[in-house]
């Protein structure tokens, strides 16, 4: 486990907000030289804390008006059915997130679609036909907000 | 609003038709990005989604255009609010947070301010990394991270259970994330 100091935390918070900013710009805001900032970013990357970037797009303006979270329960269990299900579900282009969970459902999926009719198509043709799929619960996403987390 | 209406009106006056059309097209572009995106925009966004660390020159090369042209398009996508930013992804496990739990919460909807007050209070819990609202059986979902199950239990009892207006709470513990790619299928 990696211990962070206050400067590391400030760097992580700044990069969560804007990962495209230069080390010089970031450093000047937190009172650190460009090389010192760069070294810290590199260490956070090497230590596996910073694992990449996410491009934020306005899904609505690109014609993707609906995001739905699905809770999926498998009808049949066993090693083979889990593997089959997992292999098939990650191949669906509209599925953005697949989590294996413990609790009321076996999997949590995040699905993006153009509108509700398009979502229905994805649900019927792609999700309900997945191997081993049982009960499915859908919740339509209205808003979301990412928090910085314990930094 | 009055300015735009006037400008559209000018389109019918012959000498000013060109100006009027230009202003009209600007009005449309601020509301309807969908029609403004062409194949090149989509190619650039696809490449950028696949690898956000690409430089503008690399991005252009992959999309088959010059760096200058790629730069202009990316700038326009930013100006029109299609491309809203880039955010660093942190692996919380590397920082010792081994537990991730999805809390699916039902609120007391007879309270008019239930959502606002609940969300405001949830924002004060440092270990909450996501707050989502839904239409469906579940009203709100929180992503909560913790160092271990003991730590989770402490957060659950001391912070989560004191949140206002909850009528039901249901937990899903993440065993594994098999796929996490918020790329849009452009």
Taking the C-alpha atoms of residue A137 and residue A71, their distance in angstroms, rounded to an integer, is 5
Q: Is there a contact between A47 and B128 if contact means CB atoms under 8 Å apart?
A: no
pLDDT score recorded for residue B135: 93
Q: Do A21 and A88 fall within a single domain?
A: no
Q: Which helix (H) or strand (E) holds A81?
A: helix A79-89
**Full residue range of the structural domain in which residue B113 is found:** 92-173
Provide mean pLDDT across the span A121-135: 94
Domain stops at, among B38, B54, B79:
B79
Higher local confidence (pLDDT), B183 or A10: A10
Count of CB atoms situated within 10 Å of the CB of B181? 14
Taking the C-alpha atoms of residue A37 and residue A85, their distance in angstroms, rounded to an integer, is 44
Domain stops at, among B49, B79, B109:
B79
Strands A95-102 and B99-107: unpaired
B107: which chain A residues are within 8 Å (Cβ-Cβ)?
Answer: none
Q: Do B124 and B56 fall within a single domain?
A: no
pLDDT score recorded for residue B181: 82
Q: Does residue B2 carry a pLDDT above 70?
A: no
pLDDT score recorded for residue B1: 33
B132: which chain A residues are within 8 Å (Cβ-Cβ)?
Answer: 69, 141-145
With an 8 Å Cβ cutoff, is B154 touching chain A?
no
Closest C-alpha among B85, B88, B75, B80 to residue A62: B80
Provide mean pLDDT across the span B121-148: 96
Q: Do A18 and A88 fall within a single domain?
A: no
Q: Do B70 and B28 fall within a single domain?
A: yes
Whole-Å CA distances, A95 to A13, A124, B101, B148: 28, 14, 20, 29
Q: Is there a contact between B94 and A19 if contact means CB atoms under 8 Å apart?
A: no
Q: Does residue B3 carry a pLDDT above 70?
A: no
pLDDT digits (tens, 9 = 90+) for B36-90: 688 999 999 999 999 998 989 999 999 999 999 999 999 999 999 999 999 999 9
Q: Do A41 and A75 fall within a single domain?
A: no
Tell me, yes or no, whether B53 lies in a domain: yes
pLDDT score recorded for residue B26: 33
State both tokens at B128.
């909450």
Q: Do A89 and A131 fall within a single domain?
A: yes
Residue pair A4/A13 in contact by the 8 Å Cβ criterion: no
Higher local confidence (pLDDT), B79 or B12: B79
HEC profile for chain B? CHHHHHHHHHCCCHHHHHHHHHHHHHHHHHHCHHHHCCHHHHHHHHHHHHCCCCCHHHHHHHHCCCHHHHHHHHHHHHHCCCEEEEEEEECHHHHCCCEEEEEEEEECCCCCCHHHHHHHHHHCCCCEEEEEEEECCCCEEEEEEECCHHHHHHHHHHCHHHCCCEEEEEEEEEEEEEEECCCCCC
State both tokens at A86.
């997992």
Q: Which of B82, B84, B138 sits opposite A139 (nearest CB)?
A: B138
Q: Which of B127, B130, B179 sits opposite A144 (nearest CB)?
A: B130
**Full residue range of the structural domain in which residue A32 is found:** 6-46
pLDDT digits (tens, 9 = 90+) for A27-50: 999 999 999 999 999 999 999 999
Taking the C-alpha atoms of residue A100 and residue A107, their distance in angstroms, rounded to an integer, is 5
Domain stops at, among B24, B46, B79:
B79
In this prediction, residue B12 has a pLDDT band, given cuts at 50, 70 and 90, of: very low
Tell me, yes or no, whether A102 lies in a domain: yes
Number of domains within chain A:
2
Q: Do A27 and A71 fall within a single domain?
A: no
Residue A48, phi then psi, degrees to nearest 5: 80, 15
Provide mean pLDDT across the span A68-75: 94
With an 8 Å Cβ cutoff, is B112 touching chain A?
no
Number of domains within chain B:
2
Tell me, yes or no, whether B180 lies in a domain: no
pLDDT score recorded for residue A7: 95
Closest C-alpha among B15, B169, B45, B19 to residue B102: B169
Domain CATH number, residue B134: 3.30.70.920
Q: Residue A7: CB partners within 8 Å, gap ≥ 6?
A: A30, A32, A40
Task: Output the furthest CA–CA distance in chain A (Å, rounded).
Answer: 58
With an 8 Å Cβ cutoff, is B37 touching chain A?
yes
Q: Do B149 and B118 fall within a single domain?
A: yes
> What's the ipTM?
0.91
Q: Do A64 and A135 fall within a single domain?
A: yes
Q: Do A85 and A130 fall within a single domain?
A: yes
Provide mean pLDDT across the span A7-36: 94
* Best A9, A90, A99 residue to mutate vs chain B (most B CBs within 10 Å): A99
Q: Which helix (H) or strand (E) holds A66?
A: strand A66-74
Report chain B's mean pLDDT, rounded to a whole number.
Answer: 83
Q: Do A136 and A72 fall within a single domain?
A: yes
With an 8 Å Cβ cutoff, is A95 touching chain B?
yes
Tell me, yes or no, whether B9 lies in a domain: yes
Q: Do B111 and B144 fall within a single domain?
A: yes
State both tokens at A73.
């329960």
Cβ-based contacts under 8 A for chains A and B: 201
Q: Is there a contact between A141 and B134 if contact means CB atoms under 8 Å apart?
A: yes
Q: Is there a contact between A144 and B97 if contact means CB atoms under 8 Å apart?
A: no
With an 8 Å Cβ cutoff, is A59 touching chain B?
yes
Q: Does residue B6 carry a pLDDT above 60?
A: no
Q: Is there a contact between B179 and A90 if contact means CB atoms under 8 Å apart?
A: yes
Tell me, yes or no, whether A53 lies in a domain: no
* Best A72, A150, A151 residue to mutate vs chain B (most B CBs within 10 Å): A150
Tell me, yes or no, whether A150 lies in a domain: no
Tell me, yes or no, whether A147 lies in a domain: no
Which of A67-71, A107-111, B38-42 is least confident? B38-42
Tell me, yes or no, whether A1 lies in a domain: no
Domain CATH number, residue A97: 3.30.70.920
pLDDT score recorded for residue A51: 94
Percent of chain B residues topping a pLDDT of 70: 81
With an 8 Å Cβ cutoff, is B92 touching chain A?
yes
Percent of chain B residues topping a pLDDT of 90: 70
Q: Does residue B19 carry a pLDDT above 70?
A: no
B123: which chain A residues are within 8 Å (Cβ-Cβ)?
Answer: 147
Q: Do B75 and B96 fall within a single domain?
A: no
Higher local confidence (pLDDT), A56 or B14: A56
Q: Does residue B15 carry a pLDDT above 90?
A: no
Tell me, yes or no, whether A55 lies in a domain: no
The upper half-sphere exposure of residue B109, i.e. CA atoms within 13 Å in the direction of its Cβ, equals 7
Provide mean pLDDT across the span B138-157: 97
Number of H helices, E strands in chain A: 5, 5
Q: Do A30 and A93 fall within a single domain?
A: no
Q: Is there a contact between A143 and B176 if contact means CB atoms under 8 Å apart?
A: no
In this prediction, residue B22 has a pLDDT band, given cuts at 50, 70 and 90, of: very low
Q: Is there a contact between A63 and B34 if contact means CB atoms under 8 Å apart?
A: yes
Taking the C-alpha atoms of residue A90 and residue A96, their distance in angstroms, rounded to an integer, is 8
Tell me, yes or no, whether A51 lies in a domain: no
Q: Do A75 and A133 fall within a single domain?
A: yes
């Amino acid at each position: 486990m990696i211990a962070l100091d206050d400067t590391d935390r400030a760097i992580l918070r700044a990069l969560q907000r804007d990962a495209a900013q230069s080390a010089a710009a970031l450093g000047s805001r937190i009172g650190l030289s460009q090389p010192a900032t760069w070294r810290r970013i590199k260490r956070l990357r090497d230590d596996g804390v910073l694992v990449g970037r996410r491009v934020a797009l306005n899904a609505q303006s690109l014609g993707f008006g609906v995001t739905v979270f699905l809770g999926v329960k498998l009808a049949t269990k066993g090693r083979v059915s889990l593997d089959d299900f997992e292999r098939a579900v990650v191949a669906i282009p509209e599925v953005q997130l697949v989590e294996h969970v413990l609790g009321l459902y076996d999997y949590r999926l995040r699905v993006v679609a153009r509108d509700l009719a398009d979502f229905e198509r994805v649900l019927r043709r792609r999700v309900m036909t997945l191997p081993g799929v049982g009960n499915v619960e859908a919740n339509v996403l209205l808003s979301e907000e990412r928090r910085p987390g314990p930094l | 609003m009055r300015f735009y209406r006037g400008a559209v009106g000018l389109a019918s006056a012959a000498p000013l038709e060109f100006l009027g059309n230009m202003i009209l097209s600007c009005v449309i572009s601020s509301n309807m990005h969908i029609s403004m995106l062409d194949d090149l925009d989509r190619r650039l966004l696809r490449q950028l989604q696949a690898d956000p660390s690409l430089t503008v020159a690399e991005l252009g090369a992959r999309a088959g255009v010059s760096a200058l042209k790629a730069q202009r398009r990316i700038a326009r996508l930013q100006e029109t609010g299609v491309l809203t930013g880039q955010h660093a992804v942190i692996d919380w496990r590397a920082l010792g947070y081994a537990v991730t739990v999805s809390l699916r919460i039902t609120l007391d909807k007879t309270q008019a301010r239930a959502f606002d007050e609940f969300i405001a209070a949830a924002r004060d819990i440092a270990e909450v990394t996501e707050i989502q609202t839904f239409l469906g059986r579940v009203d709100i979902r929180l992503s909560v991270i913790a160092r271990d199950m003991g730590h989770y239990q402490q957060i659950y009892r001391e912070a989560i259970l004191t949140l206002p207006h909850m009528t039901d709470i249901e937990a899903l513990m993440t065993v594994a994330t098999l796929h996490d790619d918020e790329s849009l299928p452009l």
